[in-house]
Amino acid sequence: VADIEADLAQILVTEQEIHAKLDELAVRVAQDYAGKDLILIGVLKGAVMVMADFVRALPFHAPMDWMAVSSYGAGTKSSGVVQIRKDLDTDLHGKHVLIVEDIIDSGLTLSWLLENFESRGAESIEVLALLRKPDAAKVEIRCKYVGFDIPNEFVVGYGLDYAERYRNLRDIAVLAPHVYS
């Protein structure tokens, strides 16, 4: 862990703050989806930690499915080109879909995903994102459940990576510029 910490400029959101926020969002989601056929769709790989903690905060059955898409590759900027690496196993027809994401940065990934899902016959589609960067938005995303709005800096941890590293950090931190410049 020591070598990870040397690469961090600042801790932005602590593990405790994340868990408290996800519990709060779970209460809202539980109210909004009571009695409905809900499916959670996690966006691999960044959303694994958010999904793992969020789904365990829900008081009812909540099936999960996963979609793997990637637009960042090994860089710090979105390429804008979204590639499907793994598609859903589930037919979304008649289902209430909640997409679970770690972060809305430019918004390009979710805007592409929303358009893709809208053609699959879901009853409703909403988005839960732990983090959102308002100053980085290139497209507006209608996100019903947002954890934290954060400044436009490159963040890692709690599922978020830089070149596949730092995902296993418990907190969310700003990556020190010396790491990628």
Residues at the contact surface with ligand PRP, assessed by CB under 6 A: 43-46, 70-72, 78, 101-109, 161
Rounded to an integer, what distance in angstroms lies between the CA atom of residue 34 and that of residue 30? 6
Amino acid identity at 174: V
- The count of C-alpha atoms lying within 13 angstroms of the C-alpha of 177, restricted to the half-sphere facing its C-beta, is 2
CB of 28 to ligand PRP, least distance (A): 22
Output 19 or 77, the one with its CB closest to ligand PRP. 77
State the nearest-atom distance from the C-beta of 35 to ligand PRP, in Å: 30
Residue 46 within binding range of Mn ion, rule CB under 5 A: yes
Does 101 sit near Mg ion (CB under 5 A)? no
Residues 69-88 that bind Mg ion (CB under 5 A): 72
**Which amino acid makes up residue 169?**
L
Q: Of 48, 35, 144, nearest to 98 (Cα)?
A: 144
Q: Is 135 a catalytic residue?
A: no
Which of these is catalytic: 7, 32, 87, 105?
A: 105
Task: Report the run of H or E that residue 32 belongs to, with start and end.
Answer: helix 15-32
Kindly list the residues in this chain that would bind Mn ion in the complex (CB under 5 A).
46
